[in-house]
Amino acid sequence: MAEPATQASSHVGDDIIIEMAGVNKWYGDFHVLKNIDLTVYKGERIVICGPSGSGKSTLIRCINRLEEHQRGDIVVDGVTLGNDVRQVDQVRREVGMVFQHFNLFPHLSVLDNLTLAPIWVRKMPKREAEEIAMHYLTRVKIPEQAAKYPGQLSGGQQQRVAIARSLCMNPKIMLFDEPTSALDPEMIKEVLDVMVELAESGMTMLVVTHEMGFANKVADRVIFMDYGEIVEQNVPSEFFSNPKSERTKLFLSQILNH
């Protein structure tokens, strides 16, 4: 079953940043996460793949507690997630998330989307927040769109704004939930390029995606999930050329041959 993480990963340091142990979650009677054990090291880039409905989104949403788990422990950057609202807020300040459908705030300009959280959550002066926002907009290559509203941008541009918005909070961890699957094919690359750059800068990243080219290029570790379990995890070269379980082989054959 699950490979031990130490064998599968060539992590940068030995500092653990996320520790999930025996995590279980149910939606009513439906057992969506089953005994998840996952250790993530600082600076690690992890790609999570698996069939639709296998619990990938639920897994990463538990890390910033958009979903609550019912059994097991999740420790993020030294903070244990539970019912304590202050601890949840503390974790959310350090964890950025990028969604499939961008979820930009349509009533705010791009610049205001970016400065909102730094101003209200980090209590940063407006001037400073705007400088940081422009810095990240430049990094995602759309500084000229700062004054526009999200509804006036293309999907690829919106997703890059969403990435910049998360980065403005200077997070230690970035979560991506299928960031390119709502995009037209010609826009996927512009978003992936930004993500590759981010990975090269040393950001700890957990990415749910079926972009196997991206996984091959930047991932330290690929995790395969099915039916709420981590079925297999390995470094990309091994994962793709030498999958161990039948379910992984089937999944890979399906997505690589379509």
Partner 1 sequence: MSQEHATESAMARPPVTQVGAVRWLRENLFSGWLNTTLTLLTIYILYVALPPLLDWVIFNAAISGTDRDNCTYAGACWVFVKVRFWQFMYGFYPEPERWRVNVVFIIGILGVASLLTSRVPTKAKLIVGVCMLTIFPVFAVVMFGGGVFGLEYIETSQWGGLFLTLTVASAAMVGSFPLGMVLAIGRRSKLPVVKTFCVCFIEFFRGVPLITILFMASVMVPLFLPEGLTLDKLARAIIGITIFNSAYMAEVIRGGLQSIPKGQYEAAHALGLSYWQGMGLIILPQALKAVIPGLVNTFIGLFKDTTLIYIIGIFDLLGMVQASFRDTKWLGLAFEGYAFIMLVFWIFCYSMSKYSQYLERKLNTGHKS
Ligand X SMILES: Nc1ncnc2c1ncn2[C@@H]1O[C@H](COP(=O)(O)OP(=O)(O)O)[C@@H](O)[C@H]1O
Residues near ligand X, by CB under 6 A: 27, 30, 32, 50, 52-58
Query: What is the pattern of x (binds partner 1, CB under 8 A) and - over residues 64-93?
Result: x-x----------------------x--xx
Cβ distance to ligand X smaller for residue 59 or 219: 59
Q: State which H helix or E strand residue 125 sits in.
A: none
The CB-of-125 to partner 1 minimum distance in angstroms stands at 15
Identify which range of 10-18, 24-32, 117-125, 213-221 contacts partner 1 by CB under 8 A. Answer: 117-125
Q: How many angstroms separate the CA atoms of 206 and 219, rounded?
A: 9
Q: How many angstroms separate the CA atoms of 140 and 225, rounded?
A: 30
Residue whose beta carbon is closest to ligand X: 57
Alpha-carbon dihedral 59, 62, 66, 69, rounded to 10 degrees: 110
Q: Are 59 and 14 in contact (CB under 8 A)?
A: no
Residues 6+ apart with CB under 8 A from 80: 73, 74, 87
Query: What is the pattern of x (binds Mg ion, CB under 5 A) and - over residues 27-66?
Result: ------------------------------x---------
Question: In terms of Cα–Cα distance, which of 70, 5, 12 is closest to 205?
Answer: 12
169 interacts with partner 1 by CB under 8 A? yes
The binding site for partner 1 (CB under 8 A) comprises 64, 66, 89, 92-93, 95-97, 99, 101-107, 116-117, 120-121, 149-152, 158, 165-166, 169
